[in-house]
Amino acid sequence: MSSQTLLSIKNLVKHYRVGTVSFLGRRFGHKQKMVHSLDGVSFNVARDETLGVVGESGCGKTTLARTMLLLTPPTSGSITFEDKEITKLPKQELRKLRSRMQIVFQDPVSSLDPRMRVRDIVAEPLVGVGEKDRAQIREKVRAMLERVGLSQDALNRFPHQFSGGQRQRIGIARALVCEPQFLVLDEPTSALDASIQAQVLNLLRRLERDLRLSSVFISHNINVVCYMSDRIAVMYAGEIVEMGPTREILGKSSHPYTTTLFASVPKVDPSHRRADTEIIGEQPSPVNPPSGCRFHPRCPFVMEKCKSVRPEQTVVNSNHWAACHLLTK
């Protein structure tokens, strides 16, 4: 693995058990179901690049965000950060690593503790990493607030005194105060109005460039993800179905789901109203995913093979692959 790769995940699996009753720490339950949130996700993120993850609700992208940072332990799979395997790391070590891999959350309201002042909220990762020097902490918080475009009198205020866009800026300041190498952005602008979203996106682009961040940008908004990312990964039912450079995939997608996904995005141009490329049905339930290729019940090009055999990652181009039997014919 080249030293250009910052984070590498292989076969990441996350299953949740639902429908159980717990007693004394053990689980009982006659109707135990398994939610297949992530079913073997693999990719690398290089230094200085933004990887976008796009998918609809239930595809597993939020679980991916949490599991990638080991905020929740994976059921199986490996995660390598800075050339070190981190899935089996003891809690102490993992905590120290956290200052280098951070996350920006979606909800500007609940991602900030309503009872804490902004200066304490932003300082939190510094506390987590064990920084004791109060002057240092103060200095870094001030610097960060300035970087995200907030005035210094924000320091002593409470979250509810700020607008949604400003709260997201606070969240971004918090994520970056420790100067992480790697940033996960979980729907960072989905809760914001369009005009504010533009401000935050531009801010993020600038920060990513200035701080040389590697990031994973997760969103259901395809326009935004494509705008922000160098490469994108398309997720469906807990798996990545296609991954490659943004322009290339936009130009010609290889997986039928990718094609219909992009075709479904409303264009901001009434003269190009969508033709009848329409997709039928809905996302499969993660409890009982379809056999073989998970997209087969809705695929216009479905073949016999698709119903039973899971497609492999097939290379389409350098750095671009898709998991579809159509490509191996």
Partner 1 sequence: MSLFDKTELRLTGVYLLRNKLSLAGGAIVAAYLALTVVVTLTGKFLLPYDPYVQNFAQTLLPPNSAHFFGTDDLGRDIFSRVIAGAPIEAQIAFVVVLISLAFGGSLGAFAGYLGGMAEELLMRITDVFLSFPALVLAMAVAIAIGPGLTNSMMALLVVWWPWYARIARGEALAIKNSQYMEAAHAAGLRDVQIVVRHVLPNILMPLLVYATLDISNVILTGSILSFIGLGAQPPQPEWGRMVFDGQDYLSGAWWMSVLPALAIFVVVLAFSLFGDGLRDAFDPKLRRR
Partner 2 sequence: MSEPLLSIENVRLEFNTEQGTVHALRGVDLSVGKNEVVGLVGESGCGKTVLGLAVLGLNPMPPARLLDGSQILFQGRNLAELTPHELALVRGTGISMIFQEPATSLNPVFTIGDQISESIRLRIQRQRNEDKSTPSSSEIDEQVYEALRLVRIADPERIARRYPHELSGGMKQRAMIAMAMAAKPSLLIADEPTTALDVTIQAQILRLMRDLMNEVKTSILFITHDLGVIAEIADRVAVMYAGHIVEEAPVGQLFAEPLHPYTQGLLASLPRLSDLDREIKQLPGSVPDAINPPSGCSFHPRCEFAREECRTESPKLKELKVGHKVACYLY
**Binding residues vs partner 2 (CB under 8 A):** 56-57, 163, 165-166, 193-199, 201-202, 220, 222-224, 226-228, 246-247, 250, 260-271, 273-274, 278-279, 282-283
Query: Whose Cβ is closer to partner 2: residue 166's or residue 181's?
Result: 166
Q: Which stretch binds partner 1 (CB under 8 A): 111-119, 223-231, 293-301, 302-310?
A: 111-119
Alpha helices by DSSP H, listed for 16-163, are 61-68, 91-97, 118-128, 134-147
Q: Does 183 bind partner 1 (CB under 8 A)?
A: no
* Burial bucket for residue 78 (CB in 10 Å: 0-12, 13-18, 19+): middle
From the list partner 2, partner 1, none, which binds 267 (C-beta under 5 to 8 Å, kind-based)?
A: partner 2
Q: Which stretch binds partner 1 (CB under 8 A): 80-88, 123-131, 289-297, 299-307?
A: 123-131
Is the distance from CB of 56 to CB of 219 less than 8 angstroms? no
Q: Does 105 bind partner 1 (CB under 8 A)?
A: yes
Query: Whose Cβ is closer to partner 1: residue 7's or residue 237's?
Result: 7
* Burial bucket for residue 124 (CB in 10 Å: 0-12, 13-18, 19+): middle
From the list partner 1, partner 2, none, which binds 265 (C-beta under 5 to 8 Å, kind-based)?
A: partner 2
With a CB cutoff of 8 Å and minimum separation 6, the contacts of 188 are 104, 105, 106, 168, 171, 172, 200, 204, 217, 219
Is the distance from CB of 186 to CB of 103 less than 8 angstroms? yes
| Cα 132 from chain centroid (whole Å) | 31
Q: Does 33 bind partner 1 (CB under 8 A)?
A: no
From the list partner 1, partner 2, none, which binds 4 (C-beta under 5 to 8 Å, kind-based)?
A: none
CB of residue 123 to partner 2, shortest distance in Å: 25
CB of residue 290 to partner 1, shortest distance in Å: 30
Query: Whose Cβ is closer to partner 2: residue 61's or residue 140's?
Result: 61
Could you give the CA distance from residue 111 to residue 92 in angstroms, rounded to a whole number? 24
From the list partner 2, partner 1, none, which binds 2 (C-beta under 5 to 8 Å, kind-based)?
A: none
Q: How many CA atoms lie within 13 A of 322 on its CB side?
A: 20
